[in-house]
Structure 1
Amino acid sequence: MSCNGSALGLNTSEADPSAPAPLRVSLAVAMLLMIVVSFLGNAVVCVIVYQRPAMRSAINLLLASLAFSDIMLSLCCMPFTAVTLLTARWHFGAALCRLSAALYWFFVLEGVAILLIISVDRFLIIVQRQDRLTPRRAKSIIAASWLLSFCVAAPSLAGWAVVEVPARAPQCVLGYSELLTVRAYAVTLVGAAFCVPFTLMLGAYLCILHAVRKNAMRVRNQSDSLDLRHMGRAGLRRLQRQQLVSLDLGFKTKAFTTILLLFVGFSLCWLPHTVYSLLAVFSRRFYCSRDFYVASSCVLWLGYLKSALNPLLYCWRIKRFREACADLLPQGAHVLPGLPERLRRRTRPRALYVCGESQSSV
């Protein structure tokens, strides 16, 4: 039931947004900037993986799929929200409202699924010491994740969720309902988009942190126990093995740090959205309050921010990403001269999933 007592389904109430114009305009302008950053930054990732066969490792295919889902989110959903924020009206009809809501959850679910797959892969490599993800398996996993995300998001098109048509919100969002089926689907949707992936990724990262700390202490203790004065040929080989282990540990730690930052960004951007969505479906008081539009605007803006943060994080952490961006620019647009070709190092495709300054995933 909507706030004006209409029937379940699409709520077409014409309540005023009750949001100050400066706030709406500021969020809309910032969202337009996010569209540009998200599209261009994530397009660079897709172009790099597409144009360079050496970059088509399993993990880079996952990153390209994550970037593509963010591109589609920025093109198919964010412009409608920006226009609605500027005009305080939904100009695109009820059918497109429900379609945009389904696409929103579809692309969000896909991005979260890819991030979860990457986290599980890091867990298997660092904790279980199993590197079984091949490009062929990655393609199958990506196809399955897109299919599963579509299956979870598609029922909203069939009326399994109450969708609020603006002007009560700047985008078609989940609305209040007393039907158990609608509430159950809303819980399933929110759980698949945040709760379940967050729990699994948090557990994986805690295990990774424990394994990294344990390995670092073991390497340090074994290094301290070596007596260089009485070291023979066997001792030298042992020292070399310890140095390789230490190098590999630093290699994995740098990669894990960037993935952990992606997880932190996902958590900070989507935790408010999860709480907001559940309150909108279960709490009539919150749904009908005057602050609902303001809360919707801020929470949706924060949720979209994640799509623009990923390429910014790549640019900050990954040297090869910055070099690739420079290579894609026109020749006259380069500010600094490029490195000579003989100084550029070729990296093994299986080792591309490193997000440090010296090696990177892209």
Structure 2
Amino acid sequence: MACNRSAAEAYANLPPNGSHAAAPGPAAPPAPLRVSLAALMALMTAGGLLGNAALCVIVYRRPAMRSAVNLLLATLAFSDVMLSLCCMPFTAVTLVTVRWHFGDAFCRVAAALYWFFVLEGVAVLLIISVDRFLIIVQRRDRLNPRRAKAVIAASWALSFCVAAPSLAAWPLVEVPARAPQCVLGYTELPAGRAYVLALVGAAFFAPFAVMLGSYLGILHAARRNAVRVHDQSRGLDLRRLPRAGLRRLQRQQQLSLDLSFKTKAFTTILILFVGFSLCWLPHSVYSLLSVFSRRFYCGPSFYATSSCILGLSYLKSVFNPIVYCWRIKKFREACLELLPQTFQILPRVPERIRRRIQPSTVYACTESQSAV
């Protein structure tokens, strides 16, 4: 490992002073804190696995929900499911025991899978953001389910190509001794640093810039359209409008309703983007510091810092299903239908009957009717 080699052997380009000749070992957090973090990660694993798997099952079982956006969301959920299965349990075990028990080869495989599924999730968010920008700003709805499947396949292939160097005995990935999972370690090789810059740029900084620009453009277009519809419909007298004016007003009202629907869907994607940014900005900065700063990587607090930042990066897998349940009514209803009847408090009512029953209209009374 880089922190255990001598300055003359591993860092010939560094000045031969005492600060670089040896480095203190990583200080693991106290046992109660490690157990608490491992238990929290186990809960996040279960929550992310169940919530994202539910979305995949819903899209698979309901052909009516296989729209382009839903296919992309299902792909995002599947990448989070695989991340919860292939990486999070081993990190939780290493947190408790402060030792990697799964071999050097699987260490590299786990690191490659971690970046692979993260890159795929980021790629899906980027595709959805650009699609929303084209629909709302450019008014071009190009992404149908067939094209969405082709774009999803291309994103999987590109994500694998970016994450694959970790499998080819890449020297930066080291067996956990300073972190609870295989992470990028310090290096002075120009090729290694260039790869890390490309990896972190593809996983966060480049998608963040594109998505931020898309969302700013969408917000500006939504505000401009809302002001235009308001100005055009302001002060109109329906009794004096000709038939052509009435048709134009109806089109404006339909545009306002369509804009409201698209803005609601855009708000859901924007919340996912905010969650992605908050969870992955610290990890991206942490990865760059680990590779470019030997003092940070070999510091005594690196293990504790790694544990907290890795836990925050995994939190995104749990955050997404919560947003789906909060913002998407069909997802909530489909999740309730997936539950066994023994876990349901209220009896299940068929969807056709739910649409026909409207208690708010049955019991509504006007001022001229009796209150009894």
TM-score between both structures, scaled by the size of structure 1: 0.91
Match of 1:51 among 51, 61, 84: 61
In the aligned structure 2, how far is the partner of 1:144 from the partner of 1:340? 39
- Match of 1:252, SS state, is helix
* Paired letter, 2:229: V
1:55 Cα deviation after fit? 1.4
Alignment partner, residue 356 of structure 1: none
Alignment partner, residue 3 of structure 2: 3
The correspondence of residues 156-305 of structure 1 with structure 2, limited to 5 A, is: 156-305=166-315
1:208 Cα deviation after fit? 0.4
The correspondence of residues 14-29 of structure 1 with structure 2, limited to 5 A, is: 15-29=25-39
Percent identity (aligned):
73
- Match of 2:244, SS state, is helix
1:114 aligns with 2:124: yes
1:277 Cα deviation after fit? 0.1
* Paired letter, 1:206: L
Could you report, residue by residue, the CA deviation over 1:313-345 in whole angstroms, capped at 9, with x for unpaired residues? 111111111100010011232212334432456
Match of 1:125 among 121, 135, 142: 135
Kindly tell me: are residues 161 and 273 of structure 1, through their superposed partners in 2, closer, same or farther at Cα, counting changes over 3 Å? farther
Could you report, residue by residue, the CA deviation over 1:60-97 in whole angstroms, capped at 9, with x for unpaired residues? 11111111000000000000000001111111111111
Structure 1 residue ranges without an equivalent (≥5)? 346-362
Alignment partner, residue 100 of structure 1: 110
In the aligned structure 2, how far is the partner of 1:334 from the partner of 1:236? 49
The runs of 4+ residues in structure 1 deviating greater than 6 Å are: none
Alignment partner, residue 337 of structure 1: 347
Alignment partner, residue 94 of structure 2: 84
Structure 2 residue ranges without an equivalent (≥5)? 11-22, 356-372
Kindly tell me: are residues 225 and 54 of structure 1, through their superposed partners in 2, closer, same or farther at Cα, counting changes over 3 Å? same
1:228 Cα deviation after fit? 2.9
1:143 aligns with 2:163: no
User: For the pair shown, which has the larger CA radius of gyration, 1 or 2?
Assistant: 2
Name the Cα RMSD after superposition: 1.7
In the aligned structure 2, how far is the partner of 1:237 from the partner of 1:147? 49
1:248 Cα deviation after fit? 0.8
Could you report, residue by residue, the CA deviation over 1:221-265 in whole angstroms, capped at 9, with x for unpaired residues? 011142234223333222221211111111011111110000000
Could you report, residue by residue, the CA deviation over 1:5-26 in whole angstroms, capped at 9, with x for unpaired residues? 1777xxxx99444322222112
Aligned residue-pair number: 341
* Paired letter, 2:3: C
Is the 1:161–1:186 contact (alpha carbons within 8 Å) kept by the matching residues of 2?
Answer: no
Is the 1:127–1:211 contact (alpha carbons within 8 Å) kept by the matching residues of 2?
Answer: yes
When structure 1 is superposed on structure 2, of 86-95 and 21-30 the one drifting more is 21-30
In the aligned structure 1, how far is the partner of 2:115 from the partner of 2:299? 24
* Paired letter, 1:307: S
1:59 Cα deviation after fit? 1.5
In the aligned structure 1, how far is the partner of 2:156 from the partner of 2:135? 24
In the aligned structure 1, how far is the partner of 2:48 from the partner of 2:352? 33
Match of 1:318 among 313, 319, 328: 328
Is the 2:26–2:300 contact (alpha carbons within 8 Å) kept by the matching residues of 1?
Answer: no
Kindly tell me: are residues 38 and 280 of structure 1, through their superposed partners in 2, closer, same or farther at Cα, counting changes over 3 Å? same
Kindly tell me: are residues 161 and 313 of structure 1, through their superposed partners in 2, closer, same or farther at Cα, counting changes over 3 Å? farther
Kindly tell me: are residues 14 and 96 of structure 1, through their superposed partners in 2, closer, same or farther at Cα, counting changes over 3 Å? farther
- Match of 2:178, SS state, is coil
* Paired letter, 1:215: N
- Match of 2:132, SS state, is helix
* Paired letter, 1:178: E
- Match of 2:3, SS state, is coil
* Paired letter, 1:100: A
In the aligned structure 1, how far is the partner of 2:70 from the partner of 2:155? 16
When structure 1 is superposed on structure 2, of 16-25 and 107-116 the one drifting more is 16-25
Is the 1:17–1:88 contact (alpha carbons within 8 Å) kept by the matching residues of 2?
Answer: no
Alignment partner, residue 353 of structure 1: none
Alignment partner, residue 360 of structure 1: none
* Paired letter, 1:167: A
Kindly tell me: are residues 252 and 173 of structure 1, through their superposed partners in 2, closer, same or farther at Cα, counting changes over 3 Å? same
Is the 1:58–1:133 contact (alpha carbons within 8 Å) kept by the matching residues of 2?
Answer: yes
Kindly tell me: are residues 160 and 224 of structure 1, through their superposed partners in 2, closer, same or farther at Cα, counting changes over 3 Å? same
* Paired letter, 1:156: S
- Match of 1:300, SS state, is helix
When structure 1 is superposed on structure 2, of 255-264 and 220-229 the one drifting more is 220-229
* Paired letter, 1:46: C
